[in-house]
Structure 1
Amino acid sequence: MNILFFWVAQFVDQSSGMERVLCNFANNRNHKGDHVSVAYCTEVDGKPYFALDNQIGLYNLLDFGDAKRWESKPYLTPRKKIGRELIRLFNSRKAKDFELYIKAEYLSPMIRELLKKCKPDIIISFEPKSTFYMQQALKQLHCRVPLVTMFHFSMENAFDVSSEVEREAVLQSDCVQVLTQSDKQSLKQILPECHVSYIPNVVPQYKLDQNKKGNSHIILNVGRLDAQQKRQHILLEAFGKVAGDYPEWKVELLGEDRDGGQYIARLNRIISRYHLEDRVSIHKPVKDVLSHYQSAAFFAFPSAYEGFPLAMTEAMSAGLPVVGIKSCTAVAEIIENGKDGILTDDSIDAFALGLQKLMADDSLREKWGENAHISMKEYAPDKVWEKWDSLIQRLI
């Protein structure tokens, strides 16, 4: 079987969750004996951050064209830019649709050449925009290939800013994969005729470190440094409120900076205000995340929204209980409050109380950590890949 993973994004040299999911998924299908291709689109030279099997075909869409430009917006000529801005005066979503059609027109010749080379039996798109670009190219080829659209973001805000074109692309997909049961229900309410399958992400099944037993006093957060979604500032503000009562405790952040240091500067101001310079550390992403899970006492996760929180579920698999925000649907669906973690209100004071509850009780951390480890067996690789096997076979 020929499988094409398609994502109009940089992909190379990127260390976030979607890139990791793509590499793991592609490797899994390669191990099953499929002929696997991965297509991305960027002007940037690089290679995948995560391991990708050598047998997998890796294609930059721009290599199938002449200009080899994308991020510099070659498709937006002065005339088309003026047209877009005129439309935006009356309807911002229509302007977004207009630009998507311009992009599709630019990409279609390259996508058609990609399809001729890969000859896919099924296409798995990593977002609705990529689905739309692919659908436009397939129409021009008068070609019918089953197409799955993956959703990596929460349905709570997935359609808040999306265009009508994206909605239609999702609706015309042979199947849409979502990461939580609540997302499946939400999507069916938004697009009742949509074909939806719930398939969560794979969670590695780690062994419990039986020697830790409350010896650690590290609160860990892993994720992109981001003020709007990941909100590490809430963790630091909350820790600052209780740190004086627990002088042995520290906070460790592992995350990529994507705004030129502005958010890190904000985090450092919080650290200075609470005099936590020796108790809070901020590190760049590392490939050996497991060692950090194993050295931590528990995981703190103040995200406002998530699709499927990979770092949090991996931490739970490693035996870490979690303090999360209950209004974050994906987090609340995974954490069982009072059994493998704490779900707090969305405020600094409430989050501080959640931290304090786990900081104060070694036996509670140990018990909830064991429960967290057990609860992640639901997302074991064999169970998740079996769901994908069933879906792919049905669509083929």
Structure 2
Amino acid sequence: MNITIAHFGTYYVGMSGGVEKVTCQFANAMIKRGHHVTILYRDSREGSPYFYLDPNVKQHNILFEKGKQIISDKLPFPLRICREIARLFSQKAAQAINARYKGMQYGKSIKKYLDSHPTDIIISCSAPSTKYTITDAHCQIPVIQMIHADPEIQFPDFSAAEKNAISQCKAMQILTAKGLSFAQAMFPSLPITVIGNPIEPAPEIKTTYEEQIICSVGNLCPRKNQEFLVKAFEKLHSDFPDWTLELWGGNSSHYGKKVKAYIQNHQLEQYVKICGKTQNVNDVYLHSSILAIPSISEGFPLAVGEAMAVGLPVIGLKACGGVNSLVKNNITGYLTDNTLSDYILALRKLMSDTKLRQKLGQQGYKDIQQYAPNTIWNKWEQLMLSIVNN
């Protein structure tokens, strides 16, 4: 098959997010299976993704032609003002302004590329990507909508134009069965398939749980809720003075600066470390004893799956979709209420008991095997072939 991945919803070059990681994993896997893969992306610069990409994967920036940017990725200033005013009242209205103007800009470039490059199927990474491809580029090639977030959180913010475009897809993929009924209610005529993200086998599994380190992996942002974790750890510090908390991920946002300021203002620098990005996340899990992920919402949290594949117990919020699909309370970790007291109690249990950390971590390692890459890529390949063959 000739597979094209449409990645127009966010930036692409050097981005270390979950969508970009899955995009690269998907492309690499399909190349190994003998397919031809192209990633169509939009970015203000040309370049490579943050994650490893097989050199046989083709990449094309729709904003560039012959090394020169010919389309702006930003709205004109008056429209940006209108969008931000609209955002105060409705996320949908703000997205609609984005989608309408950018669609006029991007559609022609997408169509030009697809018209001159044979493609059997398109995998769309986002709702805006689908709108630009189907509505603005007038694409007749079958499209599968890939969903990276919890449908109950993400779908209500779809604009009418995005919903209309998605309804014209041939299929939709969601990450967990918990989102199935909500997705079906919003898109009743669209075939919806549950396929999780692949969790690569860890090169090394934990054998000791003596390390007095809690890790949290993910870009610092309000949705990931790291300040909540820092406050919980602060309450435990006097009882566990030898323990440290490591926050791994991008930290250049306003929220990241806020978390850093809290750590400094409460004299926690020696015990709470903001560590930045890493290409060796397995090493982070190996030298830790607990993964704490206080996210408010997730689609399919790769950090949780990767930590479980190493053998780490996980503490998350029971109301967080994605986390509550992977973590089994009292079996592979703890799912708590969204209160500091409940989260502190769970942390205390694991910080106090080495054998408990080992027991829950090893059960997590067993559970996560259902997301082995071959299992996931087989499902994707079967889905694509069923659409192309029909």
Q: Which runs of 4+ in 1 moved over 4 A?
A: 64-67, 80-96
After superposition, what is the alpha-carbon deviation per residue over 1:60-89, rounded to whole angstroms, capped at 9, x for unaligned? 00124985233332xx486x7799899999
Structure 1: stretches of 5+ with no match in the other structure: none
Structure 2: stretches of 5+ with no match in the other structure: none
Counterpart of 2:190 in structure 1 is 194
Of 217, 230, 234, 2:228 maps to 234
The one-letter amino acid of 1:71's match is D
The one-letter amino acid of 1:235's match is L
- What is the CA–CA distance in structure 2 between the aligned matches of 1:287 and 1:339, rounded to whole Å? 29
The one-letter amino acid of 2:262's match is I
Q: What's the TM-score, normalizing by structure 1?
A: 0.91
Of 66, 69, 72, 1:70 maps to 72
After superposition, what is the alpha-carbon deviation per residue over 1:164-183, rounded to whole angstroms, capped at 9, x for unaligned? 11111121111111111011
Of 234, 241, 244, 2:238 maps to 244
Structure 2 vs 1, CA of residues 44 and 363 (structure 1 numbering), >3 Å: closer, same or farther?
same
Counterpart of 2:27 in structure 1 is 26
Deviation at 1:118, TM superposition (A): 2.3
Deviation at 1:90, TM superposition (A): 10
The one-letter amino acid of 1:175's match is A
After superposition, what is the alpha-carbon deviation per residue over 1:234-283, rounded to whole angstroms, capped at 9, x for unaligned? 11100111111111211111010242xx3334323433455322111111
Counterpart of 2:248 in structure 1 is 254
Deviation at 1:195, TM superposition (A): 1.7
SS at match of 1:38: strand
Matches within 5 A, 1:216-231: 216-226=211-221, 228-231=222-225
Assess if the C-alpha contact under 8 Å between 1:299 and 1:315 holds in 2.
Answer: yes
Counterpart of 1:301 in structure 2 is 293
Assess if the C-alpha contact under 8 Å between 2:297 and 2:320 holds in 1.
Answer: yes
Assess if the C-alpha contact under 8 Å between 1:219 and 1:251 holds in 2.
Answer: yes
- What is the CA–CA distance in structure 2 between the aligned matches of 1:331 and 1:90, rounded to whole Å? 30
Counterpart of 1:55 in structure 2 is 56
Counterpart of 1:289 in structure 2 is 281
Counterpart of 1:2 in structure 2 is 2
- What is the CA–CA distance in structure 1 between the aligned matches of 2:230 and 2:173, rounded to whole Å? 35
After superposition, what is the alpha-carbon deviation per residue over 1:16-42, rounded to whole angstroms, capped at 9, x for unaligned? 111110011001111111111111011
Assess if the C-alpha contact under 8 Å between 1:322 and 1:341 holds in 2.
Answer: yes
Assess if the C-alpha contact under 8 Å between 2:44 and 2:69 holds in 1.
Answer: no
Of 170, 174, 183, 1:174 maps to 170
Structure 2 vs 1, CA of residues 105 and 345 (structure 1 numbering), >3 Å: closer, same or farther?
same
- What is the CA–CA distance in structure 2 between the aligned matches of 1:198 and 1:155, rounded to whole Å? 12
Matching of residue 364 in structure 1 with residue 359 in structure 2: no
Counterpart of 2:45 in structure 1 is 44
Structure 2 vs 1, CA of residues 88 and 268 (structure 1 numbering), >3 Å: closer, same or farther?
closer
The one-letter amino acid of 2:308's match is M
Counterpart of 1:128 in structure 2 is 127
The one-letter amino acid of 1:113's match is K
The one-letter amino acid of 2:51's match is F
Q: CA RMSD in A?
A: 2.4
- What is the CA–CA distance in structure 2 between the aligned matches of 1:230 and 1:344, rounded to whole Å? 15
Counterpart of 1:16 in structure 2 is 17
Deviation at 1:369, TM superposition (A): 0.6
- What is the CA–CA distance in structure 2 between the aligned matches of 1:239 and 1:134, rounded to whole Å? 46
SS at match of 2:64: helix
- What is the CA–CA distance in structure 2 between the aligned matches of 1:196 and 1:32, rounded to whole Å? 24
Matches within 5 A, 1:107-146: 107-139=106-138, 144-146=140-142
SS at match of 1:149: strand
Structure 2 vs 1, CA of residues 30 and 16 (structure 1 numbering), >3 Å: closer, same or farther?
same
Assess if the C-alpha contact under 8 Å between 2:206 and 2:310 holds in 1.
Answer: no
Counterpart of 1:378 in structure 2 is 370
Matching of residue 103 in structure 1 with residue 102 in structure 2: yes
After superposition, what is the alpha-carbon deviation per residue over 1:111-167, rounded to whole angstroms, capped at 9, x for unaligned? 11110232110000100111011002453xxx5211001111111211232211111
- What is the CA–CA distance in structure 1 between the aligned matches of 2:220 and 2:163, rounded to whole Å? 29
- What is the CA–CA distance in structure 1 between the aligned matches of 2:183 and 2:27, rounded to whole Å? 26
Deviation at 1:334, TM superposition (A): 1.1
Assess if the C-alpha contact under 8 Å between 2:127 and 2:158 holds in 1.
Answer: no
SS at match of 1:239: helix
Structure 2 vs 1, CA of residues 150 and 246 (structure 1 numbering), >3 Å: closer, same or farther?
same
Structure 2 vs 1, CA of residues 278 and 92 (structure 1 numbering), >3 Å: closer, same or farther?
closer
- What is the CA–CA distance in structure 1 between the aligned matches of 2:203 and 2:84, rounded to whole Å? 55
Assess if the C-alpha contact under 8 Å between 1:37 and 1:118 holds in 2.
Answer: no
Counterpart of 2:347 in structure 1 is 355
